[in-house]
A = this chain, B = another copy of it.
Amino acid sequence: MELVKVGVIGIGNMGSSHVQLLDKGQIEGAMLTAICSSNESRIEWVKSHTKGNVQIFGDEETFFNESGIDAVLIATPHYSHPELAKKAFAKGIHVLIEKPAGVYTKNVLEMNEAAKVNGKVFGIMYNQRANPLYQKLHDLIHSGELGEMKRTNWIVTDIYRSQSYYDSSKWRATWKGEGGGVLLNQALHHLDIWQWTTGYMPNRIRATSSVGKYHDIEVEDDITAYVEYDNGATGVFITSTGEAPGTNRFEIIGDRGKIVVENEELTFYQLTQSEREFNKAYKGGFGQPEWKKIDIPVKSENANHPMIIQNWIDSIRKGSPLLAPGEEGVKALDIANAMYLSSWLNETVELPVDPNYYFEKLQEKISTSTFEKKNVTNTLLNVKGTH
């Protein structure tokens, strides 16, 4: 395939950004040939911000049936990702979905099944996997240099949001509109990077979330979760949009040392021997294994959306392996769903969560919601610099 004909559906904050990337020819081997949006002002924006050879569709059926696209980038609101992806697969169209994969695992698993049956290239915009910082972390852990994992700790509070952010759209931070708060929107990348870099999914989660703690919203803006892993390791994940200035500090302890990722720097405290072996052999009472501090200079790059799109296009054209296969979108979502469920039930929850049970519980949240936003401004936000 010479040039992949790409369509973009959903022209919000992220979709607009993708449209410009494609239209300006910044993705090699891809061209923007169609968009789909039901919002007139966004359609006007596309018309005035693209070269003019982009087909405009107002409804998704016509978009998928008549646009002639090879591949679609789905940047609609969260809930619709699985349904739209399934429609695209049914038409033999390659798919790149914005994160999250969906809001609940039930239909995300269906989407994954459809992708498998269809065999098209299916990616997810886990752009942080393209961040050299996390790639290095992933490699250090997977190479075995850190040894058997003992504990993880990630404090993610550098994602401050003011009330005006939440007020920018009616659907933001509602159960019906987004299906969650900070976990599903700001911290989902971190949930993915947490499991992807360590190679471990938690098997049990105990979480406490605070709904509307710092903002007038009906979903959580603050959460602390304790997790356990199959190998006996434990972990803590903390996130909040109400702290300033925030922290982003990820610590992973293994049998051969500790890695700390903070301030966009990676530091490896490397033991000269296994701690477990030292523990057995040492006879001196106080004392600990020798170690050295290794500063690993890696330039952190947050704005890696083009890399993920390029990787997806390369996979379509040349069969290159995907950095973020769409099927893996369910993992971070499963962690998020387990944290919600644990908070709602005030119980420890085992993973994976029961997809049907979680779906039911979420429907309860939506159907019993009486929350009304006081001051919706309908503002399109500039996402530059966010993840």
Which residues on A are within 8 Å of B, measured CB to CB?
Answer: 150-151, 153, 155, 157, 160-165, 168, 206, 208, 210, 213-215, 222, 224, 226, 228, 232, 234, 236, 238, 240, 242-247, 249, 251, 253, 257-258, 260, 269, 271, 275-276, 278-280, 282-289, 291, 379, 381-383, 385-386
Contacts and interface: CB of A to CB of B under 8 A. Distances in A.
B285 A244 contact: no
Contact of A253 (B243, B284, B285): B243
Number of copies: 2
A155 B251 contact: yes
A104 B92 CA distance: 68
B283 A164 contact: yes
A282 to B, nearest CB: 5
A318 B199 CA distance: 61
Given A165-B285, A238-B236, A287-B162, A258 B269 contact: no
B224 A382 contact: no
Interface centre among A215, A222, A238, A289, by most chain B C-beta atoms within 10 angstroms, is A238
Given A210-B234, A243-B275, A286-B385, 14 more contacts: A150-B242, A151-B243, A162-B279, A162-B287, A164-B285, A208-B234, A214-B279, A236-B238, A243-B258, A244-B275, A245-B258, A247-B251, A247-B258, A286-B386
A328 to B, nearest CB: 27
B213 A232 contact: yes
